[in-house]
Structure 1
Amino acid sequence: MTTRRNFLVKSGALAVGTMILPSWITYNSSVKLGNIGVQLYTFRDEMTKDAIGTLKKIADLGFKQIESARSEKGHYYGLTPFSIKKVCDDLGMNLRSGHVHIDKNWKKTVEEAAASGQEYLICSTMPSRGQTVDNYKSVAEVFNKAGEDCKKHNIKFGYHNHAYEFEMHKNQVLYDVLMDYTNPDLVHMELDLGWVIVGGKDPIDYFKKYPGRFPLWHLKDMDMIKKESTEFGKGGLDISKMLQYSKESGLKYVFIEQEEYEVSPLESMKHNLKYLQELG
């Protein structure tokens, strides 16, 4: 199974202390200062060892928005929903979203997310595998129901793609089936731009075909040879061009996620934020 990968863009300004807000952020009203965050899976090992200390380092980079990910210590790296909220509050950050599975503990997952103050709860992998149109229609029904469950707790439900959703069956792109059979009011898509291009598609085509359906992005550059994430500017994603379509996307928050790195997650994030700054 493909591993979950999230990629976020931060308003390049917010990062690393004294960085200046890039012009494309101020020009594009869809992406505002403070709406760029990081997916904590990027720091998965560090979060498992020392969640609070790692969150402090992330805050020092300038990030204001956080997206958590399911880990061996639970959804909050051994912290309770209340304690991670307090830590983030104290550091001037928001736990904005979280990656989870739809499983037998789904009810508890939603209740925890509500307790943490999250705005979004994102399913990070298909609840049932089967690369067929019928399965994707069935999954769409599951997602609509999950959206109803979340809405009762004032949370927005969504789904994060990988590359396999862009395979075809019966002359239909399976991701398109998912889009066509989910209720836009209940299912808010988090588009991983890196995995879209690995899947052979162009994110901009989706912004145009399904305007307003993608309030969350994982901004992630991809090494198209190795099919894995890399630092910004070293892969096949035209980041500057993507950002020009944030309004069509309905973008609210961008999360940077990088799963592979040459040195360390911290150094990769510094590189990525510097890259975003220089786009301005």
Structure 2
Amino acid sequence: MNTRRNFLKNASLLSASTLLMPQLSMAAIKKASYGVQLYSFRDAMLENPKATLEKIASLGFKEIESAGSKLGYYYGLTPSEMGKTCKALGMKLTSGHVRLDDKFEQTMADAVASGQEYVICSSMPTDGQTVDNYKKVAEQFNVAGEACKKLGLKFGYHNHEYEFESEDGQILYDVLMDNTEEDLVHMELDLGWVVVAGKEPLHYFKKYPGRFPLWHLKDMDIHGKESTEFGKGILDIELMLKNKDLSGAKHIYIEQEEYASTPVESMRHNMNYLKNI
């Protein structure tokens, strides 16, 4: 597995490749519509989901991606109530992190009721960092994707760093990519975790163009232990955004798991950073 010792090297490679990659205008970056992964506001969402969504809307977010909690995927609200609350605030519930488990049929039904488009498996559903296991999981994903497609949903997968480990010279994430059907499994690339794994997001944009309709835009501190506010970490955010079309990105969710002060202040900083690139 690539280690965190590669951070500075990879950060330099990202910056150096700026002149080599297709360019997206700064105006396009600033006009982009950004979403937020609600795990960033996990405590507040459990305490008062509607008030928290109102605060999120005031920060300028237009899309919402839900996450699992002790009160379910919709923080104690019904799926329909969650979707309607977002809509009333000028936002849209477009995606949700879920588990691929024995309750998946109900998960799909709830997603339809909420009005969201994507259901994203948030982590590897089985243990085993082997090529054979990843091939088996890929088939499970294809089956789940077919089931979602029949209901008008889109199934996808969100990575962490461990998917980029290797076995016998094969990167496990690449095995997953090569064995999933593009029209059935829609990848959500967490850019922060890719860099933590010692890999380059641009490499994956080029190797699998158009395969990443969803992003987690997340900066990571230089030690790779915690997420941090935009511009304070190792991810070249401007370079990523300039190449979002190559990746196929349609939905960009900002996620931050740790904060310098509060989630609201961190997200305010992140949105201002994007406006002032």
TM-score by length of 1: 0.88
SS at match of 2:75: coil
Asked if the contact 1:42–1:265 (Cα under 8 Å) also holds between the matched residues in 2, the reply is yes
Counterpart in 1 of 2:220?
A: 222
Q: Offset at 1:24? A: 3.7
How many equivalent residue pairs? 254
Q: 1:253 Cα shift?
A: 0.8
- For residues 266 and 178 of structure 2, the distance between their equivalents in structure 1, rounded to whole angstroms, comes to 36
Shift of 1:25: 5.6
Equivalent in 250, 254, 257 of residue 255 of structure 2: 257
Decide whether the 8 Å contact of 2:49 with 2:75 is kept in 1. Answer: yes
Superimposed CA distance per residue, residues 65-96 of structure 1 (whole angstroms, 9 cap, x where no aligned partner): 00000110001000001111111111111000
Instruction: Find the residue that maps to 2:101 and give its secondary structure.
Output: coil
Give CA deviations for 1:4-30 in whole Å, capped at 9, x if unaligned.
Answer: xxxxxxxxxxxxxxxxxxx946446xx
Contact 2:196 2:224 in 1 (8 A): no
Does the 8 Å CA contact 1:25/1:33 hold for their aligned counterparts? no
The alignment partner of 2:185 has SS state of coil
Aligned equivalent of 1:146 = 144
Residue of 205, 211, 232 corresponding to 2:230: 232
1:109-188 equivalences under 5 Å are 109-188=107-186
CA distance in 2: counterparts of 1:59 and 1:51, whole angstroms: 12
Q: What do the CA deviations read for 1:99-140 (whole angstroms, capped 9, x no partner)?
A: 000011000000000110111110000010111000000000
Where does residue 79 of structure 1 map in the other structure? 77
- Tell me, yes or no, if structure 1 residue 41 matches structure 2 residue 23: no
Q: Which ranges of structure 2 fall in alignment gaps of 5 or more residues? A: 1-23
CA distance in 1, matches of 2:266, 2:89: 21
> What is the percent sequence identity of the aligned residues?
63
Q: Which has the higher helix share?
A: 2
> Any unmatched runs of 5+ in structure 1?
1-22
1:208/1:248 contact within 8 Å kept: yes
Q: Which amino acid aligns with 2:251?
A: Y
Q: CA deviation at 1:224?
A: 3.0
Letter in 2 for 1:162: H
* Distance in 1 separating the partners of 2:26 and 2:211: 20
Structure 2 counterpart of 1:101? 99
Structure 2 distance, partners of 1:88, 1:27, is 25
TM-score scaled by length of structure 2: 0.89
